[in-house]
Amino acid sequence: MMRDRGKLIRLARIWAYPLWHSVIRSQAADDVAADVDFWIDCIDGPDLHKLDLYSRFAYLSGALPEFRTLVHYRLRSSPWPLRLLLRRLYRPSATLTLEADRIGPALFIQHGLGTIVSAVSIGSHCWINQQVTIGYNAKGRPTLHDRVRVGAGAVVIGPITLHDDATVGANATVIHDVPAGVTVVAPLATVLERRHENGDAPT
């Protein structure tokens, strides 16, 4: 596995350079550097921690389309011909929508499958899992403060605020503010009465 990862990193260092060059010449360079550090911490691969910043960026760009989606968000102020070219060369995730007026440094998106994020703003060092919906109702869309974590399958809707260090558990539906440091979860699964062998419900 580590041998395969080493080969991928060597190839990615060549492939990812135009994207990296665009990043370091942009206003987003510091935010992307923070993203890279946070993603490597969240993935927690000991061999990845030893790499220099560009090698880590190249690995993430080559291996994870959701990371590329975040990089494209960071480059949104670049000239549109450049953005169009980069999106063709470095395809973002087809199943991840990422929209916000502002996203702070160090956002980690785990898997990103079937995920829609449309927020007023997202703070620093937040973590969003797969199949999450963060978005509008008729009155507005959410705000996430720093170090917020949103678990798989969660739905966060409307003009609400998830304050610092709030956690939304898997499959929870959130339509009210979550105070700082608070965890909200969905109801636990409950056991139904067993059916009889013939399939009829018990009387």
pLDDT digits (tens, 9 = 90+) for 111-144: 999 999 999 999 999 999 999 999 999 999 999 9
Query: Is residue 15 pLDDT above 90, yes or no?
Result: yes
Q: What integer best gives the mean pLDDT of the chain?
A: 94
| The pLDDT value given to residue 200 | 61
| The pLDDT value given to residue 1 | 46
Query: In 3D, which of 17, 39, 13 has the Cα closest to residue 107?
Result: 39
pTM for the complete prediction? Answer: 0.90
Query: Is residue 9 pLDDT above 80, yes or no?
Result: yes
For residues 144 and 160, the answer to whether their CB atoms sit within 8 Å is no
Average pLDDT on 39-48 reads 91
pLDDT in tens, 184-203: 999 888 888 877 666 665 55
Set out the domains of the chain in order of their start, with CATH numbers.
Answer: 1-92 (no CATH), 95-185 (2.160.10.10)
Between CA 145 and CA 160 the distance in angstroms is 11
Instruction: Tokens for 129, please give them.
Output: 């899992």
| The pLDDT value given to residue 93 | 97
| The pLDDT value given to residue 13 | 95
For residues 89 and 20, the answer to whether their CB atoms sit within 8 Å is no
Query: In 3D, which of 134, 128, 90, 131 has the Cα closest to residue 107?
Result: 128
Between CA 80 and CA 188 the distance in angstroms is 47
Average pLDDT on 169-189 reads 96
| The pLDDT value given to residue 192 | 85
| The pLDDT value given to residue 190 | 84
Between CA 106 and CA 113 the distance in angstroms is 19
Least confidently predicted of 94-103, 167-176, 184-193: 184-193
Query: Is residue 38 pLDDT above 90, yes or no?
Result: yes
pLDDT in tens, 46-58: 889 999 999 999 9
